[in-house]
Structure 1
Amino acid sequence: MTDTTKPPDLEFEPGIDVERDSAKEIRIEANGQEIPSEAYRVVHDWSGDRSLSTTVIHAVQRVLNTPEEELPILYEHIDPDALDRLFAPVQSDRSRTDGRITFSYAGLCVMIEADGTITLFITREEGEK
């Protein structure tokens, strides 16, 4: 079961629909421990005008319901230009199919796959809903 999160503030960038996967408990490992997490997903549109790094920023805005100017600078966590080139289609008719990168940004674990799927993990303490 998925639901789409929509921030109450209409000033957020349009066109980014982030889905929350509420069907299963997701656990990520940190410091040797599994931590329960919530996962949110969005798929980057390679044919659009928006860069992959911009899609990441806008997805994080939606998940955290935070204006962009309140987010940390992405470049302090990962090089946005390198990120944009990493999974860019090889040719106009051929997408990349392999690869994944994971990094921390704005308190989230961000995982990007070669097909453009961006998964944002929010960790929570045991017992939290």
Structure 2
Amino acid sequence: MADDNSTEAPSSSPKKNETNKDKIRLKLILVSGKTHEFYFTPNDTASDIGKYVFQHWPEHWEDRVDNHRILRLIYQGRFLHGNVSLGALKLPTGKLVVMHLVPRENLPEMPSQGERNREKSNEGRCTNCCTIQ
């Protein structure tokens, strides 16, 4: 079961032969630095997590938001889109994973494949150079 500083998501509550070792222990950090741990299954998505956290907002987190839809997860420096599951990130079950939780209306747009290829091909090259002859 969850301790005072952690919460289990109902979608990931233990089944008969299932324990917390079958779940991802997710420690969320707010911009204020306050943290709380939750347990989720690999099938839970970023949207599921945002909604659950909003509905079970920890008392020691004062800065409650008005809507779960603006809660965004950041993992390894990247915003997670709502349909990304924890399993798709290949997060280990039974281990602690740390993510940031921030209120943000919109996610930054993902660069197109062409933009990424252009950026890679220009790496290490000066793009504002001139040749003097």
> How high is the TM-score relative to the length of structure 2?
0.31
Give the number of the structure whose alpha-carbon radius of gyration is greater. Answer: 2
> How high is the TM-score relative to the length of structure 1?
0.32
Higher strand share: 1
